[in-house]
């Protein structure tokens, strides 16, 4: 379902909300604030009132609509499947259309625009972002937004690599003619913050015999722009990314970032025509290619560790929960434990952490009890943003645990001991 519709086009969906309150138990923000406006049914009431002309785009509405991670948890648990995340995004676009970009929104536009004309048209206040740290991250990356001073305060961060993903692997790797030709949509985090994981992604798929296409002209998926209500930027990024993959005939396009997967499958504008190739999460693809059986057939390591799994909200909302676990259970070097509250949101939410750093951390801290009880030495996830947030949570709690991408563990299994 395309989710870039105007608010007026969600009237039928809004009418489907029966105010049952099922969303209350699953909204990360509501569990912290207890505010009716924070939960899905409260936001649906506001949307209906806005459409009826009973309220305007005032400060209270902007505040309540800002308190949403766009995680999709409410929609996944709603008995009528009311797409509250899409409705919230539509209201944010309405706010931006009427009142212009917020400071945060201007930052998103400056850092993810991808072209100088667009950046110049949307942002004259780029000097607002001058205090940002980590200048090795390119200006076209949304990651810089997460490194604003408020978001950085007392936060654990990984060391920034000197070379990004594009500097580490070729744009095209020829594979076996009998195997699929796949595109890789890397996203900002795997390109610039965790390029070693991106390299594992590319080389693992190639090792399975596939031809791999990693177009250099791809950019941000557009999730930060969606969060800030910048519809024109979402459309511009989608058009550029679709064009980046249009040059080759592909069997599928792979993602190893939950947010990128959600953005490309759910929010891509109707006016943008992506290649016909299927968009597939990497865990699902690896199981299709038989990697789970290959891992399970490898000799067990004599000294193993416990590994737990954190469900990224956007993969869970897409129904992708079993595939990562099947791969982790097959690892020869680790014993998988399904920890309590594995599906609780980590609290990052892209730009949410930059706008509401204290609330973001409070939401994330709910993961600690389950992680501690699991006894895991590693917590794996399929989202780089979650990994960033989880490691910060872990370090502040003083746990001897490392947050890793599932691909890192798979690579370790294939390249490490025995003998």
Domains of the chain: 7-99 (1.10.1060.10), 291-415 (3.40.50.1860)
**221-231 per-position pLDDT tens digit:** 998 888 888 88
SS3 content of the chain, % helix, strand, coil (to 5): 50, 10, 40
For residue 352, CA distances in Å to 15, 29, 70, 287, 317 come to: 28, 11, 9, 33, 18
CB 267 within 8 A of CB 131: no
Check residue 189 and report its DSSP letter.
I
3-state secondary structure (DSSP) of residue 212: strand
Distance CA 143, CA 134 (A): 10
Residue 138 is predicted with a pLDDT of 47
3-state secondary structure (DSSP) of residue 340: coil
Strand partners, 307: 336, 378
For residue 42, CA distances in Å to 88, 120, 295 come to: 11, 37, 47
Number of Cβ within a 10 Å radius of residue 207: 15
Number of Cβ within a 10 Å radius of residue 415: 8
Give phi and psi for 113, each to the nearest 5: -60, -35
Residue 106 is predicted with a pLDDT of 64
Q: Which two tokens stand for residue 324?
A: 């990562």
Q: How many residues does the chain have?
A: 419
Residue 80 is predicted with a pLDDT of 94
CB 279 within 8 A of CB 265: yes
Whether omega before 148 lies within 30 degrees of 0, making that bond cis, reads: no
Angle at 341 between CA 336 and CA 343, to 5 degrees: 85
**288-304 per-position pLDDT tens digit:** 999 999 999 999 999 99
Number of Cβ within a 10 Å radius of residue 181: 18
Give phi and psi for 309, each to the nearest 5: -130, 135
For residue 295, give the nearest of 410, 207, 418, 382 by alpha carbon.
410
Low-confidence stretches of the chain (pLDDT beneath 50): 1-2, 114-142, 144-151
Residue 98 belongs to what H/E stretch? helix 84-99
For residue 258, CA distances in Å to 1, 279, 313, 363, 413 come to: 17, 12, 8, 18, 23
Q: Which two tokens stand for residue 360?
A: 């973001």
The strand pair at 211-213 and 402-405 is best described as: unpaired
Q: Which two tokens stand for residue 6?
A: 């105007």
């Amino acid at each position: 379902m395309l989710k870039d519709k105007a608010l007026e086009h969600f009237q039928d969906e809004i009418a489907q909300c029966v105010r049952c309150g099922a969303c209350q138990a699953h909204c990360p923000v509501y569990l912290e604030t207890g505010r009716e406006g924070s939960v899905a049914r409260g936001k649906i009431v506001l949307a209906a009132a806005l459409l009826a002309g009973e309220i305007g785009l005032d400060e209270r509405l902007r505040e309540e609509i800002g308190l949403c991670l766009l995680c999709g948890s409410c929609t996944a648990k709603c008995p009528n499947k009311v797409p509250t995340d899409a409705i919230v995004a539509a209201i944010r676009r309405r706010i931006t259309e009427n009142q212009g970009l917020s400071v945060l929104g201007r930052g998103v536009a400056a850092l993810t625009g991808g072209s100088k004309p667009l950046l110049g048209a949307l942002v004259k206040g780029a000097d607002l972002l001058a205090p940002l740290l980590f200048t090795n991250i390119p200006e076209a990356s949304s990651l810089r937004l997460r490194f604003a001073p408020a978001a950085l305060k007392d936060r654990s961060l990984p060391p920034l690599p000197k070379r990004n993903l594009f500097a580490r692997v070729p744009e095209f790797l020829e594979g076996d003619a009998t195997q699929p030709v796949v595109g890789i949509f890397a996203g900002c985090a795997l390109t610039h913050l965790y390029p070693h994981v991106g390299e594992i992604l590319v080389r693992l798929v190639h090792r399975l015999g596939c031809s791999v296409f990693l177009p250099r002209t791809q950019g941000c998926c557009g999730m930060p722009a969606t969060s800030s209500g910048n519809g024109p930027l979402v459309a511009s990024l989608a058009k550029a990314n679709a064009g980046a993959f249009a040059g080759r005939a592909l069997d599928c396009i792979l993602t190893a970032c939950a947010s990128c997967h959600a953005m490309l499958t759910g929010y891509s504008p109707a006016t943008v025509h992506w290649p016909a190739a299927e968009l597939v999460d990497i865990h699902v693809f690896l199981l299709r290619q038989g990697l789970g059986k290959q891992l399970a057939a490898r000799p067990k390591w004599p000294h193993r560790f416990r590994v737990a799994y954190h469900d990224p909200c956007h993969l869970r909302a897409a129904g992708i929960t079993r595939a990562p676990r099947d791969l982790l259970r097959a690892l020869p070097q680790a014993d998988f434990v399904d920890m309590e509250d594995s599906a609780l949101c980590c609290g990052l939410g892209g730009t949410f952490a930059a706008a509401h750093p204290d609330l973001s951390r409070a939401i994330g801290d709910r993961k600690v009890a389950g992680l501690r009880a699991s006894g895991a030495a590693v917590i794996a996830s399929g989202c780089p943003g979650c990994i960033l947030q989880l490691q910060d949570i872990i370090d502040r709690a003083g746990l001897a645990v490392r947050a890793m991408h599932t691909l890192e563990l798979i690579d370790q299994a294939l390249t490490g001991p025995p003998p």
